[in-house]
C-alpha cells in the first residue's frame, strides 16, 4: 500500500454497465497510482481497458465507485488530466503549431505566451522545425508527436494513453515509446497507457495491470523491475516478458491474439485526419 501522500490517482470500486442485461464492462475495479508512476493496462479486446481510461479521464461517469486525483473526485474532463488516442485527431486545416496551441487559446493565454509555450513543446517532441507545416504534410509518427505536444500543452499531471502508437510503423513506434517515457519522467507526469503490445508495456511502464473480461476486472499486476532507462536488450527483459505473458495467459488472453482494429468513428471528430476508419 502506498502512503496517502504519494497517491496521485485512486480508483475505488469502479463498475459500469453500458446495456441492461449484458455483462458489466467493468466491475469492482480498484487502482492506486503514485505520482510520477507509469502504469500499463493490458488485456484481451473488450475487457474494459478503454472504458476504464474514459472513466479515469472524466469522460464517462461510472455507475459505481469513484476516482480521485490528489483526493478530489473526478466529475468531468479537466486540463489536469489529458487523454491521447490511437488516432492523432488533428485539425487538418491548421498548422502543427496551431494544433499544439489550441488548448492554450481556449485557456485564454495571450499570443506571445502561446507562441513561447508552443515553441517549447515542439522542441520537446523533436519537431521544432515543423511548426509552420500543415499537419497533412507530416508523417503518421510526426502527427502523433504533435498530438502528444497538444496533450502536454496545458501542463497536465496525468496523461492517459489509449493505444497511442498502434497505427505507427515499428520504427516510429519504438522511438515514441522511449521518448514518451523520457518526457513523462522529465516532467514528473503520471502516465497510464493501454496497450496490446507486451513489449510496449515493459518499455513504458513501471507496473502492468492485467484485465480480463466478463465482467471487466483487474486480475493481476506485474511489477516491471528494470532500470528506468529501458533497454530491450537488458538481460532481465525476457524474464519480465515471460512473467507478463504468463499472467495474460492465466487471464485467458492469448499472446497471439491479433491486434485490435477499432470500429469506424463518427461524430464531430470524424473529419479530423489520422482517424482510423
Ligand X SMILES: Nc1ncnc2c1ncn2[C@@H]1O[C@H](COP(=O)(O)OP(=O)(O)OP(=O)(O)O)[C@@H](O)[C@H]1O
Interface residues with ligand X (CB under 6 A) are 18, 25, 43, 45-51, 216, 260
Site string for Mg ion, 6-45 (x = CB under 5 A): ----------------------------------------
Residue 93: which of Mg ion, ligand X, none does it interact with, CB under 5 to 8 A by kind?
Answer: none
Number of shown-chain residues binding Mg ion (CB under 5 A): 1
Give 3-state DSSP helix, strand, coil % of the chain, rounded to 5: 35, 25, 45
Q: 190 is in the binding site of which of Mg ion, ligand X, none (Cβ under 5 to 8 A by kind)?
A: none
Nearer to ligand X, 15 or 48 (CB): 48
In the bound state with ligand X, the residue whose beta carbon lies nearer, of 24 and 130, is 24
| Residue nearest Mg ion (C-beta atom) | 50
Q: CB of 73 within 8 A of CB of 67?
A: yes
178 binds, among Mg ion, ligand X, none (CB under 5 to 8 A by kind): none
HSE (side-chain half, CA atoms, 13 Å) at 96: 28
Q: Which three cell numbers stand for residue 227?
A: 532500470
Closest approach, Cβ 210 to ligand X, in A, equals 12
Task: Establish if 50 lies at the interface with Mg ion (CB under 5 A).
Answer: yes
Residue numbers 61-80 binding Mg ion by CB under 5 A: none
Shortest approach of ligand X to residue 146 CB, angstroms?
Answer: 23
Q: Given the complex with Mg ion, which of 41 and 67 has the nearer CB atom?
A: 41
CB 29 within 8 A of CB 52: yes
Please choose, from the candidates 124, 142, 226, the residue with its C-alpha nearest in 3D space to the C-alpha of residue 182.
124
Q: Rounded to the nearest whole angstrom, what is the least distance from the CB of residue 27 to ligand X in the complex? A: 11
Question: Measuring CA to CA, which residue among 137, 127, 30 is closest to residue 90?
Answer: 137
- What are the backbone angles phi and psi of residue 169, rounded to the nearest 5°? -70, 160
Distance CA 49, CA 65 (A): 16
Coil, strand or helix: which one is 54? Answer: helix
Q: Which CB, 50 or 177, lies closer to Mg ion?
A: 50
Minimum distance of ligand X from residue 74's CB (angstroms): 17
Task: Copy the grid coordinates of residue 74.
Answer: 473526478
Closer to ligand X by Cβ: residue 36 or 46: 46
| Min dist. Cβ of residue 162 to Mg ion (A) | 6
Read off the C-alpha cell for 134: 500543415
Q: Which is nearer to ligand X, 186 or 266 (CB)?
A: 266
Q: What is the DSSP letter of 161?
A: E
Q: Name the phi and psi angles at 247, rounded to 5.
A: -65, -40
CB 97 within 8 Å of CB 144? no
**Beta partners for residue 161, in sequence order:** 84, 193
Identify what 101 binds: ligand X, Mg ion, none; CB under 5 to 8 Å per kind: none
Contacted by 48, from ligand X, Mg ion, none: CB < 5 to 8 Å by type: ligand X
DSSP single-letter state for residue 230 = -
- Which positions touch Mg ion (CB under 5 A)? 50
Amino acid at each position: 500500500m502506498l502512503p496517502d501522500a504519494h497517491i496521485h490517482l485512486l480508483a475505488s470500486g469502479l463498475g459500469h454497465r453500458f446495456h441492461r442485461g449484458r455483462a458489466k464492462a467493468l466491475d469492482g475495479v480498484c487502482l492506486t497510482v503514485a505520482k510520477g508512476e507509469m502504469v500499463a493496462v493490458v488485456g484481451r479486446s473488450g475487457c474494459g481497458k478503454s472504458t476504464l481510461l474514459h472513466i479515469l479521464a472524466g469522460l464517462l461517469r461510472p455507475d459505481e465507485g469513484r476516482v480521485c486525483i490528489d483526493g478530489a473526485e473526478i466529475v468531468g474532463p479537466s486540463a489536469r488530466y489529458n487523454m491521447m488516442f490511437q488516432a492523432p485527431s488533428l485539425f487538418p486545416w491548421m498548422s502543427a503549431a496551431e494544433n499544439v496551441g489550441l488548448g492554450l487559446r481556449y485557456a485564454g493565454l495571450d499570443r506571445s505566451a502561446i507562441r513561447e509555450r508552443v515553441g517549447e513543446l515542439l522542441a520537446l517532441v523533436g519537431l521544432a522545425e515543423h511548426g509552420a507545416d500543415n499537419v497533412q504534410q507530416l508523417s503518421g509518427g510526426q502527427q502523433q508527436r504533435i498530438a502528444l505536444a497538444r496533450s502536454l500543452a496545458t501542463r497536465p499531471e496525468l496523461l492517459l494513453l489509449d493505444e497511442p502508437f498502434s497505427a505507427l510503423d515499428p520504427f516510429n513506434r519504438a522511438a515514441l515509446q522511449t521518448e514518451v517515457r523520457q518526457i513523462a519522467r522529465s516532467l514528473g507526469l503520471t502516465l497510464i497507457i493501454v496497450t496490446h503490445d507486451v513489449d510496449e508495456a515493459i518499455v513504458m511502464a513501471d507496473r502492468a495491470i492485467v484485465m480480463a473480461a466478463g465482467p471487466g476486472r483487474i486480475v493481476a499486476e506485474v511489477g516491471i523491475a528494470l532500470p528506468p532507462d529501458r533497454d530491450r536488450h537488458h538481460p532481465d527483459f525476457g524474464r519480465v516478458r515471460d512473467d507478463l505473458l504468463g499472467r495474460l495467459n492465466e487471464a485467458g488472453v492469448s499472446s497471439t491474439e491479433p491486434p485490435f482494429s477499432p470500429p469506424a468513428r463518427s461524430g464531430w471528430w470524424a473529419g479530423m485526419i489520422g482517424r482510423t476508419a
